[in-house]
Amino acid sequence: MDVIRHDLVIVGGGGAGLRAAIAAAEKDPKASIALVSKVYPMRSHTVSAEGGAAAVARDDDSLEMHGFDTVKGSDFLGDQDVIQYFVAEAPKELTLLEHWGCPWSRNEDGSVATRAFGGMTTKRTWYAADKVGFHMLHTLFQQSLRYSNIVRYDEQFVTKLVVDGGAVHGVAALDVREGVVRLILGRAVILATGGGGKIFPFTTNGNIKTADGMALAYREGVALKDMEFTQYHPTGLPGTGILITEAARGEGGHLKNSEGERFLTTRDYGVGQKAELGPRDMVSRAIIQEIEAGRGIKGPYGEYVNLDLTHLGEDVIMKRLPMVRELSMLYGGADPIHQPIPVRPVLHYMMGGVDVNIDGATSLPGLYAAGEVACVSLNGANRLGSNSLTECLVFGARTGLAALQYAKGASGANDAACLRQAEEEAARVAGLRGKRGGERIAQLRRELGATMERGCGVYRDQAAMDETVHTTAQLRGRYGDLGLVDKSTVFNTELIAALELGNMIAVAEAIAVSAAHRNESRGAHARRDAMKRDDANFLYHTLAYAGYAGPRLDKKAVTLGVWVPEERKY
Amino acid sequence: MSEQKKTFVVTRFDPDRDPAPRQQTYEVPVQPDWKVLDALNYIKDEIDGTLSHRWSCRMAVCGSCGMMVNGKPSLTCKDSLADYGSRVEVAPLSNFPIVRDLVVELEGFLEKLKAVKPFILKEKERALAEGTHRQSPEQLEEFRQFSYCINCMLCYAACPVVANEPEFLGPAAIALGHRYNMDSRDEGQHERNEIFRGEGTVFSCSYANECSEVCPKHVDPAAAINQAKFNAVIDWLAGFVTSRGGK
């Protein structure tokens, strides 16, 4: 087996992974950094983010305001030390990206323009039209090409963390092109693989978002934190789930029901004056309630509401929302200059993830995580739009430096023990290729999606969540009887899909069990049978550990601070 | 919604067993709003799990799913099946080595991209404390369009020069190099113009304009190449004049 050696191994080449790699490469030009990704970095799902990245930029804004908006948006489940660090670093990181060439949209005087976003008090979302994730990702990727000490392993799928003597020493990675598993040794490993939206059937997420990094850490005994908090974005295109950015509302778009009524202004959904710019959890719930009240619009893919931009005019739409227009026309059958866009809430983001501290360190020495895969507790129970791109930068950079520092002091691996593990992993992967069995990937994926949508959707209740807990556990069992037909070693995407499905089932179970346990409503976890937040009993983070019989739960204190939990009303 | 059967003739190639690419036919029940990619995913999930193709975002921005559809370069998640008849031929992108089925080799492009130095070059690095650059909307407009490239490789598949001269830097890489040259924050024009004056770069372009016609993001690489040619010459002349006249 090929054995490759680096100081730092970063798994994932999206916003957080690239930022971590650049931070470490810049800090120590002699450190060798492996960037291992199952796709070419520019295909990473950061590319699909649209609306913007938040950081205080204007005179009428302050770090205090950004911090409070974030903690309130989180329904007070965000850790306040993390939030304070985040808002302070955010302007620096976005400025750095500007220095690297990100084509931020500009004001007439040449300064960087900012726009309004949901749950944010003032305009603090930096944007590059409505292709912000795309531009950020390509800027970071192209910038990374400057560093000869960043060594890329493109289209290499990490299937296992190599753990020996209580610490991580590298990864086993399947070369998708060649079909072989290699051992990539590193003194520290950073997971930056993104979330797992594909666990759900109706999602904005691309095909690659399969919770891989969460599953890798979970299998090694690391906790997944706050997994019950899964974010529904209010505005996805029916059918495909393609995202119509919140920037459409930030620029002044209106949500309307079948009667043409701006229901967020005429009815009490808790968003107050913010109306369409309420936080995502509340706006998504409002849309579901409108549909349930019979004021949805019937379409071929279920009922929806209208996102009306027609009053913004062609100029604003073409300049600031060109991608919204392109997507609406291509996938929604509507030109927003002339017609409303059909939209409905769509699974978008996971607030939960691998439990890490402010340095991105997990409980397993040598293992770090940043970006959506991680739960550093910036977002708590509900993330504010445009905080996550900035999160990738702020915590990508900090985690890159922290992991590098750890790597310098880490003792070397027991190579023989690591090799043995990688060889066992290679045998497991080879055994899966063309394996006989009675279950089919597409069928299990469909059933997984259906049960997650039923039990862990916008609104939840005990009975539905319990059923999803039961069904995900059954799916874990049935996965063992998976049958595959492709025996080829070369670019075997069926094998990759099978491995991804295993990851998704494991993480889905953690989501369902965590959700079924939290007997209150907070942020994105909205229960019909427990409508109120319950700080006395549930102001804590949920930890889910992998167990033989299913996830085992524990709790962790929320770091409070200057902001005292209060009723969340806008 | 009413579905319609279409016949997909798909190029298959597994180097483990096939001596050469072959074609395989699938009958697919197609929904009226489907893109070409939806049919490939249907084949993969419901008919033949051995079919290999790349895809992810299915919203025309990640650039993974470029293929030839009825002989033309296509971003398959953007390309509506309604625009095709009952028989649709899907093949890997032209002008690239095939890895397997509809998957092509991209390493060459990654090298070409790196060669144009696609990042801001400065005489002296700007300090963080100096804050953001001032860049007017007009200055942004100078390069905005060229920054839209999603690296989908359709332009390389369409380019007649790439077909004959695989080493040609090619439309996307040149457009991205030119994008930085046109950025008011950048000071690397001389370096890049020297690259552009080298062999197999801008002057190899025959201005067939095929790249701009197939670009799904309207980057217009042909215009970028033309501008880059002009700038590379001007830069050379300016250098010539300075070195002669500056004594």
Chain A residues lying within 8 Å of B110, measured CB to CB: 40, 154
The model's pLDDT over A49-82, given as tens digits with 9 standing for 90+, comes to 999 999 999 999 999 999 999 999 999 999 999 9
User: A3-229+351-419: which CATH architecture?
Assistant: 3-Layer(bba) Sandwich (3.50)
Distance between B175 CA and the closest CA of chain A, angstroms: 14
The CATH number of the structural domain formed by B107-245 is 1.10.1060.10
The CATH number of the structural domain formed by A238-348 is 3.90.700.10
Distance of CA B183 to the CA centre of its chain: 20
Chain A residues lying within 8 Å of B140, measured CB to CB: 103, 105-106
Among B14, B45, B59, the residue with its CB nearest the CB of A442 is B45
Structure tokens at A92: 């620096």
Instruction: Note if A233 is an active site residue.
Output: yes
Marked catalytic residue, from A233, A445, A527, A541: A233
The per-residue pLDDT for A412 is 80
Q: Does B106 touch chain A (CB under 8 A)?
A: yes
Has domain B4-104 been given CATH number 1.10.10.60?
A: no
Share of chain A residues as helix, strand and coil, in percent rounded to the nearest 5: 40, 20, 40
User: A424-531: which CATH architecture?
Assistant: Up-down Bundle (1.20)
The per-residue pLDDT for B240 is 75
| Domain spans, chain B | 4-104, 107-245
Residue B78 is which amino acid? K
Chain B residues lying within 8 Å of A330, measured CB to CB: 60, 78
**What confidence tier does A411 reach under pLDDT thresholds 50, 70, 90?**
confident
Residue-wise over A174-189: b if at least 16 C-beta within 10 A, else e? bbbbebebbbbbbbbb
Name residues 169-198 of chain A within 8 A of B (Cβ).
177
Looking at the predicted structure, is the pLDDT value of residue B245 above 60? no
The model's pLDDT over A349-384, given as tens digits with 9 standing for 90+, comes to 999 999 999 999 999 999 999 999 999 999 999 999
ipTM (interface pTM) = 0.97
The per-residue pLDDT for B1 is 57
Contact criterion met (CB < 8 Å) for A490 and B133: no
Average pLDDT of span B13-42: 97
Domain(s) of CATH 3.90.700.10: residues in chain A: 238-348
The per-residue pLDDT for B2 is 74
In whole angstroms, what is the distance from residue B121 CA to residue B186 CA? 6
Contact criterion met (CB < 8 Å) for B59 and A243: yes
Distance between A141 CA and the closest CA of chain B, angstroms: 9
The per-residue pLDDT for B244 is 54
Looking at the predicted structure, is the pLDDT value of residue A257 above 70? yes
Name residues 140-169 of chain B within 8 A of A (Cβ).
140, 143-144, 147-151
Residue pair B239/B178 in contact by the 8 Å Cβ criterion? no
Looking at the predicted structure, is the pLDDT value of residue B246 above 50? no
Among B52, B137, B150, the residue with its CB nearest the CB of A491 is B52
Q: How many CA atoms lie within 13 A of B146 on its CB side?
A: 28
The model's pLDDT over B182-233, given as tens digits with 9 standing for 90+, comes to 999 999 999 999 999 999 999 999 989 999 999 999 999 999 999 999 999 9
* Dihedral (Cα; B45, B103, A4, A140), 10-degree rounding: -100
Q: How many CB atoms lie within 10 A of CB B151?
A: 23
Instruction: Note if A311 is an active site residue.
Output: no
Of A153, A141, A104, which Cα lies nearest the Cα of A14?
A141
Distance between A407 CA and the closest CA of chain B, angstroms: 27
